[in-house]
Amino acid sequence: DLVQETLNDQTSAQALDKLSRRYTRIEKFVRDFDAKNVQEVFLTSIGSLYDPHTNFLSTDTLEEFANQMQNSFVGIGASLRDEDGYCVIQELISGGPAEKSGLVRPGDTILAVAQETEEAVDVVDMKLKEIVKKIRGKKDTKVTLTLAAAGDLGTRRQIVLTRNDIPLTDNLAKAEMYEVPGPDGRARKIGLVKLPSFYGDGVGENANSNASNDVEELIGKLKKLGAEGIVLDLSRNGGGLLNEAVKLTGLFIKTGPVVQVKDTTGNVRVDSDNSVKIAYEGPLAVLVSRYSASASEIVAGALKAHNRALIVGDPTTHGKGSVQTVRELGRSLGFLKPSATDKMGAAKVTIQKFYLPKGDATQHKGVASDIAIPSINEQLKIGESDLPHALPWDTIDPVDFNFGNTDVSYAKYLVNSGLIGQLKERYQKRFDSLPEFKLLARNIEWFKKRKDEKEVPLAQNERRRIRDDDKLFKKQNDEERDRLALGNFPVTPVLLDISEAKEKEHQKQLLETKLPDGSSVVNRLSGKLFYYQASAAAPIREVSVDKFDFEKLSAHLAELSDAFSKAVGTATDAATLGRLFNELKNGERTADFQIATVFGKAFAGKLSQAQIDKALPALLAAMIKLEPRVADDQADQEPSLRESLRLMTDWLDLAEKKVAQVPVK
């Protein structure tokens, strides 16, 4: 670690200070382990001897698990982080009591917490998990926070907030409409539906929100916008509720089996879609990766079995084909007779395995893609088969069902071997010629080379050579990615009604929010957040300054120092800015990253803090223009995503030309 830090252009003193603070935090984390933590680790270790997914959940973990499934919790609507023993507000959740109050700002430090009828409790150096428990509570109850403004622990204020349901709309399904050039050069409208998990059973404003209903709503919006094909993106979906996977599959098929579930006695239950209602009948692709697990594999495998969707992405999915149930110990162990207030945690136990309609398990092997795109994920040990004590792959009898039935409204878009063959041929031509795939191949090869290295030299010269090689590779890689990004497909975001409403409410709140000096937050820096508004008509983006790539921006020091100099009213040389960028590049992003403080120290005696605070927004705006992705909600258009969209245009082209396809056997 010390060698690595000194290679990052830090002095020995700086490197030692950084490592000392890092190890102090690690030691504090270990010493903060209490009986609950030890119990959870110990019992989970025993459970994992049976299979990787049998474990113990402490009361805190159980509550967090429930929040994730419901995409909501009761609290004040703020995410927190620990900074050297201080609890700092990282961001405010749209529509939550904290944001609505107008009294809380990201970067504020929470020093004490008081319940309705109790004295305030000092939370400095308290475990973050314990602070969260004190802030959360029952709906409509009040909590009093003692806050200090960012970077000013000497000025304190008390505020009272009323707890409420907080819907986590960021974790809900989203959609995008892409305009993708087809083989004939004509742009086709292809919709993308992103589903992060199979959630449901929400509460409060989120009560009717579940994965299947939300995806159906987004499909309706995409159809109104003229979508000619749809890609269902499950590439980052680790699973969730089994019943939601069944219902979501039913949005795309007429009727039929979705999954078979086998219990410990050998009994097999078939879960089917029995509704003839179909939300979408056009061409459908499912984008998957090694991170697509459990319920995602059920959906992908079922749609593949029904010849309803083209599976695109990593060669195989994760391979988790087991079913778990969560049993609260206080409820299931009746002989203990716990009181109503006792909480004993829960056991998450594997009780079943699931199988696809044709009888093959997804366990271990996952679902194979029809068109496999090379991925760095292939070099990582992230699949079920890489986990110790994973259950084996096997098969059971298939469901008696006519999977080749063409008497359906979407018969024109059924997938068969002929279609897959023709789409593979077109994909292969692109793979052999497009620069994005050449870049992907270089990245995979570089990653594999680094992964296979089993020794690290301690000699400074050798390490410096390796570092310089890696920096050059990254620089060339970034430049190529930026060039390729110029050819990105035009994209329009499509949100759920609840997400749109929350965003409008959030923007309204931002426009009304005032900083401690009474000024608007627009184009101002507060703590680590820069409230960037490109124009009066543009939305306000909350840009976290630790997202900037300061090494990449170092190539534009002259341009950036000029922007800072004009704003501050005096010349600032590029070398000074370069030293500051290097300090920020090497800073601990969780603790040290206060850009105003860094600039204040560097220009002490030359510029007042007021001058710096006035000039930093101009510098940050110039940095965003050079690195617009930090203020953009759109993710990178990775090769697998771009190719799945192109394959949809190929499919439409083949359908219109009525190219002969090999019939399903």
- DSSP lists the bridge partners of residue 652 as none
pLDDT per residue as tens digits for the range 571-585: 888 888 988 888 888
Question: How does DSSP classify residue 316?
Answer: B
The neighbour count for residue 78, using CB atoms within 10 Å, is 23
What stretches of 181-231 show up as alpha helix (H) in DSSP?
211-224
E runs forming strands in 32-186: 55-57, 72-75, 78-83, 86-92, 109-115, 121-122, 142-149, 152-162, 164-167, 174-181
What are φ and ψ of residue 607, in 5° steps? -130, 145
Mean local confidence (pLDDT), 11-19: 86
What's the pLDDT score for residue 613?
86
> Regarding predicted confidence, which is higher, 325 or 102?
325
Mean local confidence (pLDDT), 393-401: 96
For residues 220, 224, 226, 229, the Cα torsion angle rounded to the nearest 10 degrees is: 0
Sequence-distant (6+) residues with CB within 8 A of 459 are none
Give me 19's structure tokens.
């490592």
Count of CA atoms in the C-beta half-sphere (13 A) of 414? 22
Classify residue 641 by burial, with Cβ atoms within 10 Å: 0-12, 13-18, 19+. buried
Q: How far apart, in whole angstroms, are the C-alpha atoms of residue 306 and residue 304?
A: 5
What are φ and ψ of residue 182, in 5° steps? -85, 180
Look at residue 311 and tell me whether its pLDDT is greater than 50. Answer: yes
pLDDT per residue as tens digits for the range 509-519: 888 888 777 88
What's the pLDDT score for residue 427?
98
> Can you give the length of the chain in residues?
665
Q: Return the residue matching tokens 């039929």.
A: 256
What's the Cα-to-Cα distance from 243 to each of 51, 298, 430, 501, rounded to whole Å?
A: 23, 11, 39, 28
What's the Cα-to-Cα distance from 300 to each of 190, 231, 355, 582, rounded to whole Å?
A: 19, 12, 12, 46
Look at residue 168 and tell me whether its pLDDT is greater than 80. Answer: no
Give me 216's structure tokens.
């159906």
Buried residues in 182-197 as b, exposed as e (16+ CB within 10 A): beeeeebbbbbbbbbb
Range of 45-59, 84-98, 149-163 with top mean pLDDT:
45-59
What's the pLDDT score for residue 661?
56
Look at residue 333 and tell me whether its pLDDT is greater than 60. Answer: no
pLDDT per residue as tens digits for the range 621-663: 999 999 888 887 667 899 999 999 999 999 999 998 876 555 5
Band (203; pLDDT cuts 50, 70, 90): very low
Mean local confidence (pLDDT), 280-285: 97
Give me 183's structure tokens.
């083989």
Give me 99's structure tokens.
């944001």
What's the Cα-to-Cα distance from 474 to each of 179, 457, 552, rounded to whole Å?
A: 30, 21, 9
Q: How far apart, in whole angstroms, are the C-alpha atoms of residue 537 and residue 42?
A: 55
Rg of the chain in Å (alpha carbons): 27
Mean local confidence (pLDDT), 401-415: 91
Band (63; pLDDT cuts 50, 70, 90): confident
Task: Identify residue 239 by its one-letter amino acid code.
Answer: G
Q: How far apart, in whole angstroms, are the C-alpha atoms of residue 358 and residue 400?
A: 9
Q: How much is the mean pLDDT over the chain? A: 89
Q: Which of 277, 232, 269 is nearest to 253 (CA)?
A: 277
Look at residue 287 and tell me whether its pLDDT is greater than 70. Answer: yes
pLDDT per residue as tens digits for the range 520-529: 889 998 878 8
- DSSP lists the bridge partners of residue 255 as none
What's the pLDDT score for residue 590?
60
Band (665; pLDDT cuts 50, 70, 90): very low
DSSP string, 512-553: H-B-TTS-B-TT-EETTEEEE-SSTTSPPEEEEGGGS-HHHH
Q: How far apart, in whole angstroms, are the C-alpha atoms of residue 524 and residue 530?
A: 6
Mean local confidence (pLDDT), 398-403: 94
